[in-house]
Amino acid sequence: SQQGEEDPQALSIQEGENATMNCSYKTSINNLQWYRQNSGRGLVHLILIRSNEREKHSGRLRVTLDTSKKSSSLLITASRAADTASYFCATEAGATNKLIFGTGTLLAVQP
């Protein structure tokens, strides 16, 4: 399936440290998105990176995309306790108009 695999499954860091999450996928993509989900709540869109882009920034977020390796990473710099959440990558499965979510990384930022 297209579903992305995320690594690590869980990550615990101290406030102020950087957090890096990785996503690998199986088929070619046009775009890759990252979402955040606070416990038991809806998802919030963080960033969309297109297949012809290699890096994108939004505030403390930095996303990279390596289409040759079929992988993406999300870096959160200077983390805060409020960044504690699950983070999912998502890709479109071919031209199906379906967004398929990766397995997710649970990030815990300790104050």
Partner 1 sequence: DTEVTQTPKHLVMGMTNKKSLKCEQHMGHRAMYWYKQKAKKPPELMFVYSYEKLSINESVPSRFSPECPNSSLLNLHLHALQPEDSALYLCASSPQPAGGRYEQFFGPGTRLTVL
Question: Site residues (CB under 8 A) for partner 1?
Answer: 3, 29-33, 35, 40-45, 48, 88, 90-93, 95-104, 106
Give the nearer residue to partner 1 in terms of CB position, either 68 or 97.
Answer: 97
Q: Are strands 31-37 and 85-92 parallel, antiparallel or unpaired?
A: antiparallel
Are the C-beta atoms of 14 and 109 separated by less than 8 Å? Answer: yes
We find the least distance from the C-beta atom of residue 16 to partner 1, in angstroms, to be 27
Q: Which is nearer to partner 1, 13 or 48 (CB)?
A: 48
When the beta carbons of 6 and 83 are compared against partner 1, the nearer one is: 6
Measured CA to CA, the distance from residue 75 to residue 59 in angstroms comes to 11
Distance CA 73, CA 64 (A): 5
Quote the CA–CA distance of 101 and 85 in Å, as a whole number: 15
Asked whether 86 and 108 are in contact (CB, 8 A), the reply is: no
Whose Cβ is closer to partner 1: residue 22's or residue 103's? 103
